[in-house]
Structure 1
Amino acid sequence: MDEVGPGTREYLDGLFTPGARIGGDPQGSYSWIEIAEVQGVAEVRLPSGRLVVDSPWTSGAPRELALRIPPGEYPVDVSWADCPRLYDGYYTEYRECAATRLRVREEPVTVWELALGVGEDPALRADGAGFEAEDAMGCFADATAWQPLTEPFRRHLADVTGAGSDGPPVGRGTEELCEGWFELARDEDRRADLLTFGVPEGWGQVWAGRARDGGIAVIVVPGPVPTGPWD
């Protein structure tokens, strides 16, 4: 099991700690980023315990995590950050998603590691394992219900590209949460859910936090909020 460096540990521990400053770039248009609040988003049903963390737009096989969690229904939280932006010589603040968290156990995290996909080489942890984030979007979903849960996204894509309809684009039929920052798709036949969230443009990383006994406590995916180097 890989332990991260002190800078990464401080960053990951701070992502869901209101008042924590998690990064910044004094050479850029922001100098600090502060966690403002943590908000509950939804409960996600994962009946198989096989968790996919990937873009809902992916056309290939989804990135199922190699780790397993007990089948069940899990709360998902979002961490909001206040980010200062320099504009016309003045700083203004805007709120951004710092990270999204799936809570598996209510226990402190003692070890953080990059979560690998099924069949991925552990050496990828050193290179920053993750998933291609089309449209700067990732999701939590049950692997056994991936096809029906992502059908609204495939249908929407076909519609907007003209392959499915000659009329105007239609909505995806998902439930919007937190003023549209998240989308929830449900499969009642399998009693499974998919929840989308924002990630940095092009690439998303998945962190697993383990409790003292080695069991998974949380799955965390950093959001599009800008941060500096960790270690």
Structure 2
Amino acid sequence: MPMTAPDYTRMFTPGTAFSYENGTTGTLAPVEVGELALPTGRIVACDPFVNLGTGDVQPFTVEVAPGRYPVQAAVATLLRPGAEPGPRPHTRVAAVRLLVRAEPATSWELALLPGQDPAELGEDEFFGYDVDAGTGCFYDASADSAFPGTEDEEGPVWAAMEAVGDGPAVFFAEGEDGHGLAGFTSGWGDGSYPTWIGRDAAGEVVCFVTDFFVAPVGPDPSA
């Protein structure tokens, strides 16, 4: 069967811990990326340094009401066995969510593009977007041409990314006509990553989450 979603609620809970087989441990903490305007409610997720402005990326088939929605990153701080925490911790963006409603998600489904059918997926397969420049993003479909210069390594997206400094590698770019773009590094780098839609008990969309496969978080063992 296709890949199933882990417990993303725990990913965005401060202090959630995980570990790898090599003994490296991780602790997750939510970081605010910015408030994203969605004037059409049609959401695009992609690598902005590859796809933004090309017109080649379609929005997801599930839309939300036009509005402004917060985007948050689940940032993992990693520590090797026997190492002491330093002044510049090793962090990775584990997942990012666009929060539509402040309600718990009780079910998850893959965010799809037109023409994609989950019934065609094999064991543990998923539909996702390709990352070739180590970066992902969310933006409204109407904003695709609002960030000129990106393809030439210029403009607001590049400026916002370069201004990150030593902090968690997330950024918010302001484009033309009030459009925004929430950007973030993609976990360990290039690859293909799924976006999931969380729904509440009434079936309403509460969030979109892109998973970068950094944190192997399952059910809370204390529950």
Normalising by the smaller structure, the TM-score range is 0.7 to 0.9
Determine if the alignment matches structure 1 residue 73 to structure 2 residue 59. no
Determine if the alignment matches structure 1 residue 111 to structure 2 residue 111. no
Relative to structure 1, the CA distance from residue 180 to residue 33 in structure 2 (aligned partners, 3 Å threshold; closer, same or farther) is closer
Relative to structure 1, the CA distance from residue 125 to residue 51 in structure 2 (aligned partners, 3 Å threshold; closer, same or farther) is farther
Query: Shift of residue 106 of structure 1?
Result: 0.8
Relative to structure 1, the CA distance from residue 45 to residue 173 in structure 2 (aligned partners, 3 Å threshold; closer, same or farther) is same
Relative to structure 1, the CA distance from residue 183 to residue 229 in structure 2 (aligned partners, 3 Å threshold; closer, same or farther) is closer
The two structures have a TM-score, normalised by structure 1, of: 0.76
Give the strand-richer structure, 1 or 2: 1
1:164 corresponds to = none
Query: Shift of residue 125 of structure 1?
Result: 5.6
Report if the CA contact (8 A) 1:3-1:113 is conserved. no
Report if the CA contact (8 A) 2:47-2:131 is conserved. yes
Q: Where do 5+ consecutive residues of structure 1 fail to align?
A: 160-169
Relative to structure 1, the CA distance from residue 124 to residue 33 in structure 2 (aligned partners, 3 Å threshold; closer, same or farther) is farther
Identity %: 27
Query: What is the distance in 1 between the residues matched to 2:126 and 2:213?
Result: 16
- 1:205 partner letter: P
Matches within 5 A, 1:122-133: 122-123=118-119, 127-133=125-131
Relative to structure 1, the CA distance from residue 55 to residue 4 in structure 2 (aligned partners, 3 Å threshold; closer, same or farther) is closer
Query: What is the distance in 2 between the residues matched to 1:109 and 1:47?
Result: 24
Q: Where do 5+ consecutive residues of structure 2 fail to align?
A: none
Query: Shift of residue 81 of structure 1?
Result: 2.0
Q: Which has the higher contact order (CA 8 A, sep 6+)?
A: 2
Report if the CA contact (8 A) 2:131-2:191 is conserved. yes
Report if the CA contact (8 A) 1:116-1:125 is conserved. no
Query: What is the distance in 1 between the residues matched to 2:65 and 2:175?
Result: 19
> Larger Cα Rg: Structure 1 or Structure 2?
1
Query: Shift of residue 213 of structure 1?
Result: 1.5
Relative to structure 1, the CA distance from residue 173 to residue 223 in structure 2 (aligned partners, 3 Å threshold; closer, same or farther) is same
Matches within 5 A, 1:125-204: 127-149=125-147, 151-156=148-153, 172-174=158-160, 176=163, 179=167, 181-189=169-177, 191-200=178-187, 201-204=190-193
1:50 corresponds to = 42
1:97 corresponds to = 93
Query: Shift of residue 98 of structure 1?
Result: 2.2
Query: Shift of residue 103 of structure 1?
Result: 0.7
1:209 corresponds to = 198
Query: What is the distance in 2 between the residues matched to 1:91 and 1:81?
Result: 16
The two structures have a TM-score, normalised by structure 2, of: 0.78
